[in-house]
Amino acid sequence: MTVPVVGATDRTAVPWDGPEPYAPVGVPLVDLLDRVLATGVVVSGDLVLAIADVPLVRISLHALLASVSDRVPAPWSDSGPL
């Protein structure tokens, strides 16, 4: 395995380029979508020309991708079976 250097800020030594069976090669889209669709800082106030109302998009994306948006509650009270 490509063991990352302890304490380094080197971002090129990444486990997900390595041969570990539990780590994918490259940026996995499914995990990327979890992150770009649901998170981030909302610096709103003057967001114009739309979309910054990201939840709107997420709702329609939900219909297509079946990934949950914050507006659609999961059947569990928290974020998963745990």
Partner 1 sequence: MTAPRAHSVDLDPERVTNDLAALVLTVVELLRQLMERQAVRRFDEGTLSAEQEDRLGTALMLLDERMDELCAQHGLQRSDLNLDLGPLGPLLADPGP
Partner 2 sequence: MTTVTCVFAVTDTPPPDDVLSSTPGHDGGGPLRLLTAGALHLIVQDVPAADFGEAALAERLNRPAELERCARAHHRGVERAASAGTAVPLPMATLYLDDDNAVRAVSAREASLRVLLDRLRDRTEWAVKVHGPEAAHASGTTGEGPADGRSYLRRASARRRTEREAREQALAQAHAIDRELRRYAVAATRHRPQSEQLTGTSVPQLLNAAYLVDDGRRAEFVRAVGELARDAARSAVRVTMSGPWIPYSFAQLDDVECEAHQEVHA
Nearer CB in complex with partner 1: 10/78:
78
Can you give the binding site for partner 1, defined by CB under 8 A? 62, 64-68, 72, 74-75
Judged by phi (left if over 0) then psi (alpha if -120 to 50, else beta), residue 26 lies in left
Of partner 2, partner 1, none, which one sits near residue 12, judging by CB under 5 to 8 A according to partner kind?
Answer: none
Task: State the minimum distance, in angstroms, from the CB of residue 9 to partner 2.
Answer: 6
Of partner 1, partner 2, none, which one sits near residue 17, judging by CB under 5 to 8 A according to partner kind?
Answer: none
